[in-house]
Every structure is written in C-alpha cells, then in structure tokens.
Chains A and B, each alone.
Chain A
Amino acid sequence: MPEATRPGGRIRVIVGTNPAAGAEIVETVPAGVQWRLIAMQAGLVTDVTVINRLVVLVLDDGVNIFVYAGSSSIQAASQLLRYTFGAFSRQGDVLGGAILCGYPEGIVLGPGFRFSTLTINLQAGDNWGPSIYMVEEWPA
C-alpha cells in the first residue's frame, strides 16, 4: 500500500511560524513523524516597491529540492494575497485576494523534510504571515 494511503494517520491543523519581514516561510517536519501535506495557506503582504513577485512552494529533504510548485499569477506592490497550496488539479486566478496553487498529490515528507516558500523578487519589506497547514501524521 502506498505510504500516502496508509490507514491510521492523524489529521492535524498546525499554525506555523510567522516569519519576520523579508523572510520566507520554512516549515520542517519534526523528528519522529512523517507528514502528508494536505493543504497549506499563508498570506503575503507586499511593500511599496514596484516589482512583480512570484510565489513558489518548494519541497525538499533538507538539502535536495524535489518539488517546485509555482503560482500562476504574479503579485504586485502593496497587495495582500492569500495563497492556498494543495493537491489541486487546477491553478486558480486571483479572486477576492485568494489564489489556489497545486502540487503533486500523495507526497509523504519524512523527519527533517521541509516545505517552504520561494518568492521571486521578495523585498525586505514584504511580509509573510504565519502558514497554517493541514497534514496527515504518522510515527516515523
């Protein structure tokens, strides 16, 4: 049976770190557990610098990146956009300040694996809010 469909996983909603301005979101799977990332949402407030930002969700094992999942829309200056990443089959347009971004389904992350934002043209005054994410969790 594939790892991602093992029974008995605990469904959890976790509030992650609210990074300082200019820093990316980086969440690390803790020791002793495995996570299947079901969905993750976070808001990005951009400062007044006129340049287009593009948000990518990156999955890695702590070193090696194995998923880049990018937004299909750019974010301009002085905007708040709320990004939701999940195993969606479609990419959403910006609607009401919210945008859906898809990534491959069924990926299980082991201890020390990370998921993070990689924001092209992130400015020092741009500010990510805390990520809130839903995972299915098993003992590692």
Chain B
Amino acid sequence: MKLAMRKCLGCGGVYPPVQRDGYSYYHVCPPLRDEKTGVETLRPGHRDENLVHDSAGKLVGIVAEGAGSEPVK
C-alpha cells in the first residue's frame, strides 16, 4: 500500500499524514538554526499539525496552520 503524501508549504517537507498502522502523523516544520550560535527560530509559514483541544476535550484545530499544505500527486 502506497502512503498518501502531503507537502508542507512552509518548509517544503513531504510526509504521510496517515501511517501504515492507521495512526495519524503530525507534521511540525523544522526550525531555522543559526549555524554560529545554534539559536533556533520558527521559519516563515511554520506549520504544526499537533491537535489542540479545549478544556472540555473538544478538538478545536491544530497548533499552527502556517503556510498550509497540499496533496502530493
């Protein structure tokens, strides 16, 4: 079975949102790292697909939509 893939429009990474075992994969963009200082900053369009729930446990969205993502054909 070939995994359906998506491309993050923030970092350009390609990933399978659903794994072979049926569990979701939550893409997070890698930060930008300053080579000299090692300091990390969020890249423009930073996307974080980890889920956010409200205090009642209801799903309200993802951590950061960022630049979005698109299916890879």
Q: List 9 A-B contacts (CB under 8 A).
A: A12-B23, A13-B20, A15-B19, A17-B30, A24-B33, A26-B31, A28-B26, A28-B48, A31-B26
Q: What's the nearest-Cβ distance from chain B to residue A26, in Å? A: 4
A98 at the interface (CB under 8 A from B): no
B13 contacts which of A14, A18, A30 (Cβ < 8 Å)? A18
A26/B15 in contact, CB under 8 A: no
Q: Which residues of B contact A23 (CB under 8 A)?
A: 11-13, 30
Interface residues of B in 16-73 (CB under 8 A from A): 16, 19-21, 23, 25-31, 33, 48, 50-51
B14/A17 in contact, CB under 8 A: yes
Cβ contacts A62-88/B at 8 Å (1 or 0 each): 000000000000000000000000000
Cβ contacts A110-135/B at 8 Å (1 or 0 each): 00000010100000000000100000
* Contacts between the two chains (Cβ within 8 Å), count: 56
Of the four ranges (under 10, 10 to 19, 20 to 34, 35 or more), the interface on chain B belongs to 20 to 34
A25/B21 in contact, CB under 8 A: no
Q: Which residues of A contact B33 (CB under 8 A)?
A: 24, 118
A19/B26 in contact, CB under 8 A: no
